[in-house]
């Protein structure tokens, strides 16, 4: 394992980050997780404002960190964590837009697979189309934890889009393929994990619906989407 740290994007020394990292796009959500779940959290990164903390949760060493928005951003941070800091498991918690009439504000989506319009996989020069998937052990544990806590959830495919304001309006086509929700990062996380022989899972909270028009504010997304965190910390 390479130890050429700090990296250009993470200011921690090797050993300051736990083998399990729970990540969120918003660094303030990472700060919230550190304050809410970790005992004795220590700030290890604030480069570019992408906050990262290490502490303990029920006696186990765990880190939390922001990863920014979009596949290029999570691609950088998860790559550095896996390749330079000895991280073995990353669980992403984030928001997603519902494409399913059965998913409403606050419901959880466990991303079994992640479709994408990104060309992130081109770097691997594969002779076909790669299907990014979650680690089954993490997925099964997350489902069991959500059942135990009584949280509403669905398991299935999500769509990791490079485009937030998409003029092509491709939602109906993805809906026809049974895709549950759209976000912007899981596919790259799953690819990086696969390439490094590591584990990854994306758990999302529905923040808005393309079906019903339901929506939440940025403050609500930052501070109130804690059920996905309960599940993530419950399986570390």
Point out the residues that are catalytic.
Answer: 208
Assign 3-class secondary structure to the chain.
CCCCCCCCCCCCCCCCCCCEEEEECCHHHHHHHHHHHCEEEEEEECHHHCCEEEEEECCEEEEEEECCCCHHHHHHHHHHHHHHCCCCEEEEEEEEEECCCCCCCCCEEEEEEEEECCCHHHHHCCCCCCCCECCHHHHHHHHHHHHHHCCCEEEEEEEECCCCCCCCCCHHHHHHCCCCEEECCHHHHHHHHHHHCCEEEEEEEEEEECCCCCECCHHHHHHCCCHHHHHHHHCC
Q: What is the pLDDT of residue 219?
A: 78
Summarize pLDDT for 78-130 with one digit per residue, the tens: 999 999 999 999 999 999 999 999 999 999 999 999 999 999 999 999 999 99
Summarize pLDDT for 39-48 with one digit per residue, the tens: 999 999 999 9
Kindly list the structural domains of the chain, giving each domain's residue range(s) and its CATH number in brackets, ordered by start.
20-234 (3.40.50.1580)
């Amino acid at each position: 394992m390479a130890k050429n740290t700090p990296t250009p994007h993470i200011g921690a020394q090797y050993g300051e980050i736990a083998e399990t990292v729970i990540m969120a796009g918003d660094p303030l959500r990472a700060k919230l997780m550190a304050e809410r779940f970790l005992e004795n959290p220590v700030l290890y990164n604030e480069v570019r404002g992408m906050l990262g903390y290490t502490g303990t949760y029920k006696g186990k060493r765990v880190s939390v960190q922001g990863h920014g928005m979009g596949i290029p951003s999570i691609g950088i941070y998860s790559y550095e964590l896996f390749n330079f800091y000895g991280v073995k498991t990353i669980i992403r918690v984030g928001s997603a837009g519902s494409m399913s009439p059965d998913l409403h504000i606050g419901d959880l989506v466990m991303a079994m697979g992640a479709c994408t319009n990104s060309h992130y996989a081109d770097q691997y020069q594969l002779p076909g189309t790669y299907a990014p998937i979650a680690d089954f052990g993490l997925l099964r544990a997350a489902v069991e934890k959500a059942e135990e806590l009584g949280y509403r959830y669905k398991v299935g495919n999500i769509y990791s889009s490079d485009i937030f304001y998409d003029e092509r309006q491709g939602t109906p086509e993805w809906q026809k393929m049974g895709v549950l929700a759209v976000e912007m990062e899981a596919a790259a996380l799953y690819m990086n994990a696969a390439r490094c022989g590591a584990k990854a899972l994306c758990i999302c909270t529905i923040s808005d619906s393309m079906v019903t028009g339901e929506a939440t504010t940025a403050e609500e997304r930052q501070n109130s989407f804690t059920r996905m965190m309960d599940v993530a910390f419950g399986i570390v």
